Amino acid sequence: MEQRRPLPIADTSAERPALTGETLETLTANLMAHGEPAFRARQILEWLYKKRVRSWDGMTNLSKPLREWLASAYTLIPASLVSSNQAQDVTDKLLLELSDRALIETVIIRAPQDGVGINHSRKTICISTQVGCAMGCVFCASGLDGFRRNLTAGEIVAQLLAVCHQEDPHSPRADDEFASFDNIVVMGMGEPLHNYDNLLRALTILNAEWGMGFGARRVTISTSGLVPQIQRLAQEKLGFRLAISLHGATDEVRGKIMPVNKRWPLGELLPAAKAFAETHGRMLTLEFILIKDLNDSTDQATRLAAIAKDLHAHVNLIPYNTVDGLAWQRPGETRIEAFAEVLAQRSISFTLRREKGHDINAACGQLRLKAERAREGDSTDRLVP
Ligand code: SAH
Ligand code: SF4
């Protein structure tokens, strides 16, 4: 009979790593070091990503001592749901709490399809990569309280599992589909390319056949424009889509609102973006928030059209969402229409996001900021009412 070494009990007072941050390789190595056969790692990851158990005890084909050891060595999912804020059945904001009590947001955006219920809508998930943000864009809620820390790979993956746990009960999935969503945009709190290694590890776990088998082409990473990291991303085996937050078509305008433009001005950013698009053979997206009297002139529109044409990029026009405590406003309808018309006349592929009400696409970071501030001022220590 197989003689098994007793499993050591890990020191639970130390920070336990998250199972959601392990790759098949690292988990296998760890299990084998504890006398377990290699195939256990696949079994465990299957429970986590495919059968979606939420407790160690749910992993019923593992022995009790192994489950006990796993529980002492790992955190299963390093994020817990604090609240879920459904706005008009179209967008759900999940507020998640991490082990250090930091709060992050993960958003589910549903695109309803005619003739079928909301449960059959296409779902895009917006994930966060940092707590706060260091980039200091002057219009953005995510950076208002500065940068706290990077999310770990396990915390990034945990956001996607939290979405699946919420959506699974009413998301019909094909047998070979393991995600209950269709697309991911890395557009939540934080600058994803500032947390490059953890993000890539998380997306690799998501993509792997032992993970959720989720295609890289269905993932869009949005960046404020970190040139060296864009160049690095272009070399990755997995072909993610890229969105650039432009928000200004000249250095003068962009420099007023995005400090990153001083380090990486348009003269460096645009060639890097073009090289990325050429390597990947896929259209880039240029995000352009329209802010009243800042970047909403037809001159900016004309210059934006020229940039988009040169890069063969799709433009996302986003009327600014006001942020509590900031004075920036969205332009009036006629001004927005005039801006869009300049792009249309020049045959630029573009979308003008017209959300039903500000709450739905409320700017990244706002829900978390409100909750953090409520928490600071609330002696009973309740998070959200
Ligand atoms: N840090 C990355 C990704 C997160 S921000 C980036 O900047 O690209 C995701 C998008 O939301 C960016 O295009 C950002 O500029 C935009 N955004 C931030 N605050 C906004 C607001 N108040 N209204 C509309 N869009 C906003
Ligand atoms: Fe950070 Fe993006 Fe917000 Fe700028 S727009 S502060 S990079 S999250």
Phi, psi of 366 (to 5 degrees): -75, -40
Alpha-carbon span 67 to 76, nearest angstrom = 11
Give the mutation target among 289, 323, 370 for probing the ligand 1 site: most ligand atoms within 8 A of CB: 289
Nearest CA-CA partner of 284 in 294, 275, 296: 275
pLDDT at 233: 97
Q: Is 86 left (phi over 0), alpha (psi -120 to 50) or beta?
A: beta
* Mean of all residue pLDDT scores within the chain: 87
Give how far the C-alpha of residue 73 lies from the chain's centroid of Cα atoms, to the nearest Å. 27
Is residue 47 scored above 50 in pLDDT? Answer: yes
Amino acid letter for position 368 = R
Q: What are the distances in angstroms from CA 344 to CA 60, 290, 304?
A: 58, 16, 12
Amino acid letter for position 103 = L
Amino acid letter for position 340 = A
Banded pLDDT at 360 (limits 50, 70, 90): very low
Query: Whose structure tokens read 């979405």?
Result: 163
pLDDT at 1: 37
Phi, psi of 380 (to 5 degrees): -80, -5
Banded pLDDT at 383 (limits 50, 70, 90): very low
Separation of CA 143 and ligand 2 centre (Å): 6
Active site residues: 105, 364
Instruction: Report CA torsion sign: 219, 225, 226, 227.
Output: positive
Give the mutation target among 105, 126, 128, 142 for probing the ligand 2 site: most ligand atoms within 8 A of CB: 142
Separation of CA 16 and ligand 1 centre (Å): 32
Question: Which residue's CA is the nearest one to ligand 1's atom 9?
Answer: 187
Separation of CA 313 and ligand 2 centre (Å): 21
Alpha-carbon span 138 to 289, nearest angstrom = 12
Give the mutation target among 128, 135, 223, 369 for probing the ligand 2 site: most ligand atoms within 8 A of CB: 135
- CB of 132 closer than 6 angstroms to any ligand 2 atom: no
- CB of 36 closer than 6 angstroms to any ligand 2 atom: no
Ligand lying nearest the CA atom of residue 247: 1
Q: Which of these ranges, 115-124, 255-264, 274-283, has the smallest mean pLDDT?
A: 115-124
Question: Which residue's CA is the nearest one to ligand 2's atom 3?
Answer: 140
> Over the stretch 191-205, which tens digit does the pLDDT of each residue have?
999 999 999 999 999
pLDDT at 168: 87
> Over the stretch 226-272, which tens digit does the pLDDT of each residue have?
999 999 999 999 999 999 999 999 999 999 999 999 999 999 999 99
Contact 134, 194 (CB under 8 A): yes
Q: Is the pTM of this model over 0.75?
A: yes
The two structure tokens encoding residue 108: 């589910």
- CB of 129 closer than 6 angstroms to any ligand 2 atom: no
pLDDT at 90: 75
Separation of CA 126 and ligand 1 centre (Å): 11
Ligand lying nearest the CA atom of residue 295: 1
pLDDT at 384: 28
Tell how strand 122-126 and strand 241-245 pair up: unpaired
**Residue, of 176 and 9, whose pLDDT is higher:** 176
**Residue, of 67 and 93, whose pLDDT is higher:** 67
- CB of 140 closer than 6 angstroms to any ligand 2 atom: yes
Ligand lying nearest the CA atom of residue 137: 2
Ligand lying nearest the CA atom of residue 289: 1
Question: Which residue's CA is the nearest one to ligand 1's atom 20?
Answer: 363
Is residue 356 scored above 50 in pLDDT? Answer: no
